[in-house]
Amino acid sequence: MRETITNPLVEQRADPWIIRHTDGYYYFTASLPDFRGIPLRRAKTLVALTEAEERVVWTKRETGIMSANIWAPELHHIQGKWYLYFAAARENHVFDHRMYVLENSSANPLEGEWVEKGQVRTWCESFALDATTFEHEGRLYYVWAQKDPSIDGNSNLYISEMANPWTLTGPQTMIATPEYDWEKVGFLVNEGPAVLKRNGHIYITFSASATDHHYCMGLLRAEETSNLLDAASWTKHPEPVFGTDEAASQFGPGHNSFTTLDDGTDILVYHARNYKEIVGNPLWDPNRHTRVQPFMWDETGPVFGRPIRDEEAVR
């Protein structure tokens, strides 16, 4: 029997990342409201993540690199080891982020030692965040958001091949930049990429605009046989594919990931608030809660529908 889930799944956890591993556990991480460290929890079912024990497995440094605003961790199992990808700033430059990697060789990533593998070096020393990885045809790829100082905007999306889970190799290609009005509200943002592979295509969802009720999700698509490092291989959907639904009291959904249920049902994981008005900077508002819901497919790709109202059964 499919488990009954209601949202929010985990309160005050933004930028949620959930993966279902081969050991039968769901693993969860996200941004903490105080941005001081990286939490992990695991459970045998999605709904059990709500009450699962949470451990902060790594905490920010007091000074220097990795000492402020620990954002958007992602947990990946690559070549037999666990890796945490995250962005961090410095206490004297709290919005000048770079991307970093931790490694753990334990079977259970809530145990063992997390080793700092250092910064992922990219084409430019500029604001960079929201890295994700995926494997395709024996190659490991890295997708992330970064500011190009030579053009207007806060962040674009880039892709590169990896020599190992903490080192890029070969060309680094910009595959998306804010171009539509819905990507430019408040800030010019493409960030938070997440990857799906299905039906001969590779899809990358991403988030756009400021982190208030204007935040929404976009979609890129490439043929799986194309050169993924060629910007011409990627096509952006002209409209957002998931966004605010005032009737359902769901505002600013985005920074998503994907997982599945036991029966193969595809699940969208995302954060959203249940109110529109925010006092001050939206980044300091703690109530971006983790939510989940199933999604479908049609001949053009994934169909996410609209956000489900809180406490409505997720089916």
What is the torsion angle, in degrees rounded to the nearest 10, for the CA atoms of residue 7, residue 9, residue 10 and residue 16?
A: -100
Q: How far apart are CA 315 and CA 257, in angstroms?
A: 18
Q: How far apart are CA 155 and CA 242, in angstroms?
A: 20
Q: Which of 54, 74, 183, 191 is catalytic?
A: 191
The yes-or-no answer on residue 3 being catalytic is: no
Given 3-state DSSP classes, what are the helix, strand and coil percentages for the chain, each rounded to the nearest 5? Answer: 5, 55, 40
242-247 CB contacts, 8 Å cutoff, 24+ apart: 242/205, 242/216, 242/217, 242/268, 242/270, 242/304, 242/305, 242/306, 242/307, 243/182, 243/216, 243/217, 244/213, 244/214, 244/215, 244/216, 244/276, 244/307, 245/306, 245/307, 246/276
CB proximity list for 235: less than 8 A, separation 6 or greater = 220, 221, 222
CB proximity list for 24: less than 8 A, separation 6 or greater = 44
Whose tokens are 């799944």? That residue is 9
Whose tokens are 């990697």? That residue is 101
Q: Which of 15, 74, 130, 212 is catalytic?
A: 15
The yes-or-no answer on residue 15 being catalytic is: yes
Q: How far apart are CA 16 and CA 30, in angstroms?
A: 4
Count of positions (residues) in the chain:
315
Single-letter code of the amino acid located at 15? D
In 10 A of CB 280, how many CB atoms?
A: 7
Residues acting as catalytic residues: 15, 191
